[in-house]
Structure formats: structure tokens, C-alpha cells
Amino acid sequence: MVSISSRYFHNRFDLLLDRIPILGKILTFTFGAFENLILETFRYIDTKLNINAFEVANRYILKNRWGGKVIPLNLNFETETRFLPSQEVLALLCRSKVTGVSTCYCRDTQRKHSSAPNCNHPINTCIHIGFGKSLREIPYKSENLVKVTKSEVRHLLEECDQRGLVHQIIFFPNPSFYYVVCNCCPCCCVVMNKFLKNGSPQMIKSDFIAETNLEMCSDCGICSNWCYFGARMYNNRSLTLKSENCFGCGICISKCPENAISLKSKSL
């Protein structure tokens, strides 16, 4: 009975957000403004009490309402591919009010509390969306937020794509409302790292899937080195594809020397 009532509540809540979008925007703004403080609180509890606060909060508080959805970059699409503005990160940002770029909480925190960084990826990679005209309206984030042009955003995304970082929109209170675009590495990202370790449901697949032209594929295995989700496994000089694991991030496409991989819409 409890699970039925809970599911009923969540369904009704999502219907309310559909009917009154401003409510979702207010919740998104509020959560996004205090996200760093919330994550830092989880980290503090983990450190002091040895409790997986992130997992507890997801199970009993957030209930999958906070997380990230993978969004590919247009560089990884074939020219004739059609997509909605919400399905590709540059198209999405062109229709959003970008307020600035700030430090990545995950990479910054890892380096502050470790003797050596997990990776050499840049820190200023989080693109913030729609928080108003004044950067000072964003508590706890404004000191690190820098205004950028759309061309600078494009350059940042292309650099992150070449580095193999996965583009995600971070959402709250459901995937229809997002407040930041992150460029994530599996070694530092809170959402991505938790998913890869224990299947945390905070990470949602994109609307696309990577397909491979086996006639063009040379079985070099390079793409498997860039697939974080286990969709491409290379053993005994042979590539094994597991399409059910693909998140459609598109990172493998630019790494393929034979141009044998392309993104296809799941709806086709």
C-alpha cells in the first residue's frame, strides 16, 4: 500500500509540474542555487560518520528526482540526422539563458581533499542556465561564476568532447527541469561515478544509441577505451557490442579511426 501511495503521489506531482511550469522552475532554481552546499553536506556526513549519505538521500529523500541526463554534442551526429532542440546540447543551450561557467564541484572537491588529482581535466566546465540577469543572485556559486559568450560555450563543449567528457544536464525536480550542463569524467563525477559503481539510478540515457558499421570496423578496440558504460568490450582482438548498455553520449564516435560509428535516434 505504501509503494502504491508513493507512486501515486509522484505521478500527481509530475502532472502538477506539467500544468504549472513556474513551480518546477522555482524548485529548480532553489535546488540549483544550494546544490554545492547540499553535496558538501553529503560529503561531510560520509567522512565523519562513514555513511553513504548520497545513497540514503536518493532512496528516502530525492527518490530519483535529482540526477543527470546524457546529451550528445552535434559533432557526433551525421549531417542528415534530425534532432529536437532538447536532444543535443548546443541546440539546447542556444535556446537557454546561459548565465555563466563555474567550477566543477566534483573535480574541485576531489582535488581539495586528495594528495593527487584523479585526472588532468579542467575544472571550469559547468555551464549554468537561467538563474537571472545578475550573477550575484546565485548564492554559494557566484564567486566562481564567469560570464561567457555562446562561442566560448561552444569551444568549451568541443574541448570537453575531445577529452572524452560526457555531457549531462543536471535536473531537479524531474528531467524536464534542468539548471546546469556538466561535462563529466567517470573518476570524479558524483552522479556518474555512483552509477558506474553500483548502478545508481540518477543517470539517464540520451535519446540516441551508437551503432557500428561492422563492414567498416577494423576491430582495433580504440572505441572500447572510451566507452565508460560497458557497451563496447574488446577481448582477444575482437569487439563485442552490448547496445543495451549504450548511453548515447557519442564519445566513441570521434575516437573511431575508421568513422564506423554513428548516433541513431531510438525512435527510428
Closest-CA residue to 182 (of 135, 103, 229, 127)? 127
Distance CA 45, CA 41 (A): 6
Q: Are strands 261-265 and 126-129 parallel, antiparallel or unpaired?
A: unpaired
Per-residue model confidence as pLDDT tens digits over 52-110? 777 777 777 777 788 889 999 988 887 777 888 888 999 888 888 888 899 999 999 99
Tell me, what's the pLDDT at 134? 43
pLDDT of residue 225: 92
User: What integer pLDDT is reported at residue 201 of this predicted model?
Assistant: 66
pLDDT at 7: 76
Let me know: does 128 contact 138? Beta carbons within 8 Å: yes
pLDDT value for 132: 44
1 pLDDT tier (thresholds 50, 70, 90): very low
Give per-residue pLDDT as tens, 108-161.
Answer: 999 998 989 999 999 999 998 865 444 444 444 556 778 888 899 999 999 999
Q: pLDDT by residue (tens digit) across 18-34? A: 899 889 888 888 888 88
Q: Which domains does the chain have, with CATH numbers?
A: 2-204 (no CATH), 208-268 (3.30.70.20)
Q: Is 159 exposed, middle or buried (0-12, 13-18, 19+ CB in 10 A)?
A: middle
Q: What are phi and psi of 232, to 5 degrees?
A: -135, 110
Alpha helices for the chain (secondary structure H)? 2-19, 21-33, 35-49, 53-57, 89-94, 105-112, 150-162, 190-198, 222-225, 251-255
pLDDT tens-digit map of 173-201: 988 889 899 999 999 998 888 788 877 66
Cross-strand bridge partners of residue 102: 126
Give kind and range of the element (H or E) at residue 233: strand 232-235
| pLDDT at residue 162, as a whole number | 93
At 198-256, the pLDDT tens digits run 776 678 999 999 999 989 999 899 999 999 999 999 888 888 899 999 999 999 998 99
- At residue 83, the pLDDT reads 82
Residue 53's alpha-carbon distances to 16, 39, 44, 174, 262, in angstroms, are 29, 10, 9, 20, 39
Cell numbers standing for residue 95: 535556446
The stretch 31-46 carries a mean pLDDT of: 84
Residue type, position 38, single letter: I
Mean pLDDT of 40-58: 79
